[in-house]
Homo-oligomer: A and B are copies of this chain.
Amino acid sequence: MAGIMRKIGELGERWVISTFIETLDLMPDMPIPFGDDVAAIPANGENLVVLKTDMLVGKTDVPPGMSLRQAARKAVVMNVSDFAAKGIKPIAALVSLGLPADLTEEDVKEIAFGLNDGAREYEVYIVGGDTNEAEDLIICFMLVGYCKRGRIVKRSGARPGDIVAVTGPFGKTSAGLKILLEGLSAPEHIKRPLIEAVLMPRARLKEGLLLAGLGALTASIDSSDGLAWSLHELSEASGVGFIINNIPIAPEVEEFATEHSLDPLDLSLYGGEEYELVVTIKPEMVDDAKRALENIGEHLTEIGRAIGEKRIEAVFDGKRIPIERRGWEHFKNRGNRANINIS
């Protein structure tokens, strides 16, 4: 059988996910559809229990230079970021570990400290878990929280005319991964923040809770698979397109790109492992939303607007540049991750 069947290395993660969705009996009246960033089940009355799991795998998610403590913290951040995008406060977590048998006492403590770092940073308690022996480091983290039905900001609510906005500049993790994985050089004053972006990512939880609390968001997602990928996901789920006229690029990324003759726009659009929020906002609420983030010392940047036609384009100085559906997809991207993820 194996000889004639295609391998998932060719089929890609999206094929795997569709196969699961087609095969599984689905819960009637799911409060949030399969394929959004979190799952939810009815609790009592209008209350939902919100759930999320995301697995960190040593080989694909831990670049050289990242400590075990940082890797464990990142497993928390990855999950919290999805709660942030949906505007849900996480309460508690479970963690299931696959640990290679040759880890040392010190290694295990580092992992425990890293999980606790992440948990305390976002005020989550780890309440249970499971440990196992595995060939590679596996940290399967899962979050639970509560919300009222209708309160979750889905991927599917964007309407033509909505404003697209993001919580931060892009490209730092792309550049940082080029330094860590490909050994590219950078002057010390930009090297540090670029690497820091990869090793100590932050989830925009405060921002997500605030924006969702205002009732300003019509759709939302994080940028963990890259800004371009996030725009395509919002487009597909909402049935809209986007005209993008401003892509905020971190100044360190501009400098890094110049140094290595790279396209800073490419670094910013087609990165990943970056946990900014990509949201659509009712036009009349944009000012309120911006002010709310400024009040907590953060910044919301308009980058474009939603249109009825399902195309996604950047328009700069009258020049149209299509934004491709490219980013990180498991299984299809083999080998040196950064090469595929960022190029």
Does chain B have a CB within 8 A of A188? no
Does chain B have a CB within 8 A of A131? yes
Does chain B have a CB within 8 A of A2? yes
Does chain B have a CB within 8 A of A317? no
Does chain B have a CB within 8 A of A142? yes
Which B residues are in CB contact (< 8 Å) with A131?
13, 16-17, 20, 330
Which B residues are in CB contact (< 8 Å) with A142?
53, 94, 96, 142
Does chain B have a CB within 8 A of A125? yes
Chain B residue with Cβ nearest A14: B131
Interface size class of A (residues with CB under 8 A): 35 or more
One of A21-29, A215-223, A269-277 at the interface: A21-29
Chain B residue with Cβ nearest A101: B9
Does chain B have a CB within 8 A of A104? yes
Which B residues are in CB contact (< 8 Å) with A44?
43-44, 47
CA A43 to CA B115, docked complex, whole Å? 24
CA A269 to CA B5, docked complex, whole Å? 44
Contact partner, A26, options B34, B125, B132, Cβ 8 Å: B125
Which B residues are in CB contact (< 8 Å) with A102?
7-9
Does chain B have a CB within 8 A of A262? no
Does chain B have a CB within 8 A of A296? no
Contact partner, A101, options B2, B7, B107, Cβ 8 Å: B7
Interface residues of A in 303-343 (CB under 8 A from B): 330-331, 334
One of A133-141, A199-207, A238-246 at the interface: A133-141
**Residues of A with Cβ closer than 8 Å to B?**
1-2, 5-9, 11, 13, 16-17, 19-20, 22-27, 30, 34, 38-41, 43-44, 47, 49, 51-55, 57, 59-60, 91-92, 94-99, 101-109, 112-113, 115-116, 119-120, 125-136, 138, 140, 142, 144, 146, 330-331, 334
Known: A8-B102, A54-B130. 6 other contacts (CB 8 A): A41-B91, A44-B47, A49-B49, A52-B128, A55-B130, A98-B98
A-B contacts, 25 of them at CB < 8 A, read A1-B106, A5-B105, A6-B104, A6-B105, A8-B108, A9-B102, A16-B99, A19-B112, A22-B112, A24-B119, A25-B120, A41-B92, A49-B144, A51-B92, A53-B128, A53-B129, A55-B132, A57-B134, A59-B135, A94-B142, A96-B142, A98-B138, A134-B136, A134-B138, A136-B136
